[in-house]
Each structure stands twice: as structure tokens, then as C-alpha cells.
Amino acid sequence: MTTSGPPIAIGGRRVLLGVTGGIAAYKSAELVRLLTGAGAEVTVVMTGSATRFIGADTFAALSGRPVHTSLWERPGEVLHVRLAHESGLVVVAPATANLLSKLASGLADDLLTSILLEYRGPLVVAPAMHTGMWEHPATQANAETLRGRGVRFVGPATGPLAHGDEGTGRMAEPDAIVEAASAALEGSVGEGSGGLVGRVVLVSAGPTYEAIDPVRFIGNHSSGTMGIAIAAEAARRGAEVCLVLGPATAQPPSHVRVVRVMTAEEMRAAVLEQAARSDAVVMAAAVADFRPKHAADAKLKKEDGTPELALEPTPDILRELGETRRFGQVLVGFAAETSDIEASGRSKLERKGADLLVANEVGRPGTGFGSETDHAAIIDTSGDDVPLRDWTKTELAIAIVDRIVAHLGSDLRRGKPR
């Protein structure tokens, strides 16, 4: 797998771009184009002043997503909290002296600053202002404070400024900001950064559909987002990734190999074939537990009466993988639960013979199928569990891949008996 082209760290990430009120805001349109071209899902948040320099419609057209400008546009969903929690990276470009001052002081008087106060991930800022404003002791003190908190600065550069002036304060070029964003993501995963170069990782994702007749099926609400996030993160760490994907609504990353399937039997065949050469297998797919014993050849009609639907269990792919996997292979399972989440996850981990089990709560708003976030626990054979907590799917994917890297590198994987 080649790593040339757009920064792989950006691919598959949810990036929030904050645009503040400076003349350099026009450059941020190109920044959106570069980020989306690298595979990121970009959401733009503009301050009121930014809208005086460039229109929200420009960013909406380039990103393909709604642009947010007001803290009050969706009061019922607490917009600033949702955007903060679902973003894997925040970039502010241009970042004015006013924004740096607010961020250093912890002020939150608009949508963007409220997001920044709530957000806990990697943050990149690209300052843009006149030289005197940048060199003022107050601005320099604010910048130093923010650097001490882990904020990454890119620029400002030296060159032509507004009103025919020249000096330091020019916003960094968009390609330099993308490079800084990629570096921030590389550094955000801590000890788990990299670690999969030369490894082969198999991920299953999405639902399966089991036919009742030619137009109806048994399925579930899985969008495939979680498995796709894991596949993207494993690829970012250098792995060769195969994604076995059911009829999901989420789009897979462009830099992994995808095998499309529909039914549980098709998924079983594809997974077992690919698992033979994989160092790690992640069964994130929501495989249907049951299928009709006999699918009707023609559409079932109401006037023919209520049909008798006899069901049979589908293949238990995770258990089969646990029974047949080769020595040293890491196996990760998922459990969608509505009660006793952690206890049920521990029981399934032991029954299936997996190394890790992600126990995910479903059945309530804000977590599980079709949600941007998960309420989940990571159960580990080592006993080093992560108790139930809220995650964005990107955060959970990073944590899962961290564990895979750790298991692959442990003494057990280097030749000691299991």
C-alpha cells in the first residue's frame, strides 16, 4: 500500500474548520477543498465577522455539508456540544487576535468559541493579522499560553498584508495548514501511533440482509460507520486493510480494499477467506442473528393471508473465527446490548474466544446504530478494561486500534503460548 498523495492521517476524519473575521478567510475555501480531497469530512463554523468576508454558501458547496454560524440555530440539540464531541480535529484558519485572546481566556460568547471550550482533541490554529497585532505582548502571551495547552500553531508567515503593508502576520498557505493538521493527528494517538506497517487487518462492517421474499428482508439499523472508522484508522497506522462491507449507508474510505456482501452467509465466506492472511480481524459488522428458512420466490401479498415465517440462526462468524484462527492472530468482537452491558460483553468475550470485545449499548437515542456517538466499554482478556463511557466513533476506533497494536506487540504474540 502506497502512502503517496494526500496525508493519510486526514482520511476518514471529521474535521471542524473554524473561520474567523479576517481578509485571509478567502484562503479557507481552498483549505476546505484540500481537506475534503484528502478524505476528510469537513464541517465549517463561521463567526459573524467571517461572514462579512466570504459567504457561507461557498463553504457549503465545497464541503457538501451545512455551515454553522450561530450558537442558537439549533438550541434543542445543544449544537456546540455535539460538534465538539463528533470532531476528530479542529482547525481555525484564519485565527484572529481576538480569537486567540478569547481562547486563551476561556471565553465562549459565540458558537465557535463555545465549541473550542468544550472540545478536547487536537487543535491547529493559523493566525492572520497585521504585524503590530501579532507582535503585541498581549497576543504573544496568549499564543504562549495556548502552546502550553498543546495548541499547534502554523504560521503566521511573512509577506504582503492588507492595505499594501508587508510583514509577519500573513496566514499560512492552505497546503501548509493541511500538513500541520496531519502532523497533529499523527501526534494525537500517543503510543499507539503507527505500529501496523506490514500488517494485514481485516474489518467487517454494516448490517446483513436476509431475504423474506424478493422485496423484503430481515436486517437492522447498522450504518457501518463504526467498522469504517476502524478500517480508516488501521490504514492510517500503515496496515493493509480489507473491509468486508454489508449493505451499509456510510461510505468506505477510498484507501482500503472493499469486498461487498449482502447476507450473513456471504459475509462468512468473505471473512473466512480473508482471515487466513490477516494479522488482526475486527468483526464490527452487525450480522443478522436469524434468517428465514425458506425465502419466497415471489412477493408475499396481503390478500394471500399472513405468512408463516420460520426462522433459523445464521452462522456464528465470530465463534468460528475464534475456533479456527491461527496462532498470533488478534480477534476483536462487538456486542450490541440493551442491558448488563459490561457483564454481557465479558461473557461473550469468553464464549467466542476473542482477545477484545467492544460492548456497545443500543436501543436508546444518542448511541449505537445510526448515531454519531457510542456508549461502550472495551473488554480485554488482559483484564485491562475500559469501562462504559461516551465516545465519538473516531475516538473509539483509535482506542480499538491502540489495543490491537498492543496485542500484536505483546510477549504472547512473539512466540509464548496463549
Structural domain spans, the chain: 14-188, 191-414
Output the pLDDT for position 383. Answer: 86
The Cα 209–Cα 320 span in angstroms is 20
Which residues share a beta bridge with 52? none
pLDDT < 50 stretches in the chain: 1-8, 189-193, 411-418
Q: What residues act catalytically?
A: 220
> What is the CATH topology of the domain spanning 191-414?
Rossmann fold (3.40.50)
Output the pLDDT for position 189. Answer: 43
Dihedral, 86, 366, 46, 159 alpha carbons, nearest 10: 0
The Cα 277–Cα 268 span in angstroms is 15
* Cβ-contact 376, 403 below 8 angstroms: no
Output the pLDDT for position 232. Answer: 86
| Matching fold, domains 14-188 and 191-414 | yes
* DSSP state string for 249-294: SSPPPTTSEEEE--SHHHHHHHHHHHHTT-SEEEE--B--SEEESS
* Cβ-contact 146, 100 below 8 angstroms: yes
> What is the CATH topology of the domain spanning 14-188?
Rossmann fold (3.40.50)
Output the pLDDT for position 4. Answer: 36
Output the pLDDT for position 167. Answer: 74
3-state class (DSSP) for residue 310: coil
How many CB atoms are located within 10 Å of the residue 5 CB?
Answer: 12
